[in-house]
Amino acid sequence: MSSDATFGVRPRRDGGSNHPVATTRLLAWVLPTAAALGPSLPGIGPIFAFRLLVVVVALVALAYPTNRQRLGITQPLSLLAAFWVANGIVLSLFAIDRTAALRTMMAVSLGLLLSMSVVRIARTERRIADWLARGWLLSFLVTGAIAAWELRTGQHLTNYFLAPSAGERPLPAATFYNPNAFAVYLVGVQAILLRTLIRTRRASMRIVLIAGSAACVFIILATGSRFCLAAVALLLLGVLMFDQISMARSLLVITVSGCLIWLVAPHAVLAIETVIPDDVRTTSAEQIRSSLNRADTSEGVRVELTKASVWLLGVSGGLGVGPGNFSAALVEYDAPFETGETAAPHNLLGELASEFGLAVFLAVLLFVSSLVRRVIRTNSTDRAVLLGTGLALVPAGLANSSYLLSSNLWALFATLLCFVVLGESAAYGQVEK
């Protein structure tokens, strides 16, 4: 056996440099799990394992050539990354809390580096999409098992942010400190599950994926995140709307599964209700409208925080208050909003605009709009999932306290970009066997 084969390097057919295929596959498999574990999987100081893996992915990406004849999203992504990072560095120099600015800039810079690296690899090694998808499913096995343990025992990992209260149902958070953060991650998992379900032909695998999808929705219910429940609903509607085959298949599966549950296990619904938080079971349109106008509710606080985001953008002259400085700016400028003890943005777009300014905010929106146009023009099997995920991220972007620090958000962003890149290739329409 040659040394190339030993290290998993595949010679290119055109006689060019070799590609570290085995290493790339391994990294794609472990990356989503490392992102889910986050700081719980230590590395070197603040550079925990996921961030170390990002650096390794970037080094591996250098072994893959750049196709200069058809750059696709590579060039606009590189321009966005350069502008975003440069803008963030300048803002960090004048930030109120420079430690928070440095922490956020590290997360953003590594997230953009991961995205560019995956895009570069995907232009040569198309199988990375399937490897990343398997990595997400592996991460769900890990986090799902922990969530099942939490629901069964009422216990949590040591990083859980809520103190246990007698008589309250346990809200699972798995490796995340916050059930809402876990729910946002599960929305991404659901997108990958649907993508894999659409692309596979094996009946046995479809059954497993459908069961996994149902389990994912069940755990989101248990977290009590109504925004993420809305996100999953939009994701499913988006996939059904853009993929007629999936619509017919899903309607059949839902009908058959519902009948089986009703006939074989009539008490299953009651058993499921025992783990659903009260505020989810009692949610109504009238309650939501009332909550939006009250600052002492979760929804009302989010409205106030969104107003604060716009206000901070104005106070900073449209430049932004600095990476990770939303909380510090609220105190420094004595923002006139009833946010209580909550000082995190709880709004992805609000966090981006208030901290990085209007220029970066518009640049990101312009880049995303270009992605949407590219996806709409393609005929790949991933189009429905990509557009459905885009819809889902609207409510999911209101669920968690902060997003730009999230390793999972950047891992999902890189994975979706990989799907976009491969969707531009005419050869990327084949279904997995």
What percent of the chain is predicted at pLDDT more than 90? 47
What percent of the chain is predicted at pLDDT more than 70? 78
Residue 5 — pLDDT band, cuts 50, 70, 90?
very low
Three-class SS state of 334: coil
Lowest-confidence range among 123-132, 143-152, 277-286?
Answer: 277-286
**Mean pLDDT value across residues 55-73:** 82
**What is the pTM assigned to this prediction?**
0.85
Rounded Cα–Cα distance for residues 216 and 186 (Å): 6
Locate 415 and state its tokens.
Answer: 């994975």
Q: Say which residue, 289 or 343, is predicted with more confidence.
A: 343
391 pLDDT above the threshold of 80: yes
- What's the confidence (pLDDT) of residue 11? 45
- Which segments of 200-243 does DSSP mark as H helices, in order? 203-223, 226-242
Rounded Cα–Cα distance for residues 41 and 32 (Å): 12
| Nearest C-alpha neighbor of 173 from the set 224, 241, 245, 134 | 224
For residue 9, give the H/E element and its range: strand 9-10
pLDDT tens-digit map of 17-29? 477 899 999 999 9
Which residue type occupies 102? L
167 pLDDT above the threshold of 80: no
Q: How far is CA 103 from CA 110, 215, 408, in A?
A: 11, 34, 16
Q: Say which residue, 41 or 290, is predicted with more confidence.
A: 41
Buried-state track 243-281, b at ≥16 Cβ within 10 A, e below 16: beebeebbeebeeeeeeeeeeeeeeeeeeeeebebeebe
104 pLDDT above the threshold of 90: yes
pLDDT tens-digit map of 79-101? 999 999 999 999 999 999 999 99
Residue 166 — pLDDT band, cuts 50, 70, 90?
very low
Q: Say which residue, 373 or 265, is predicted with more confidence.
A: 373
187 pLDDT above the threshold of 90: yes
Locate 176 and state its tokens.
Answer: 């995340």
Summary mean pLDDT of the chain: 82
Q: Say which residue, 330 or 290, is predicted with more confidence.
A: 330
- Which segments of 224-284 does DSSP mark as H helices, in order? 226-242, 244-264, 268-273, 278-281
pLDDT tens-digit map of 197-238? 888 888 888 888 888 888 898 899 888 888 998 899 889 888
- What's the confidence (pLDDT) of residue 431? 35
311 pLDDT above the threshold of 60: yes
110 pLDDT above the threshold of 50: yes
- What's the confidence (pLDDT) of residue 422? 84
Residue 295 — pLDDT band, cuts 50, 70, 90?
low
- What's the confidence (pLDDT) of residue 202? 85
Tokens 């200069």 appear where?
68
Three-class SS state of 347: coil
pLDDT tens-digit map of 174-186? 999 889 999 999 9
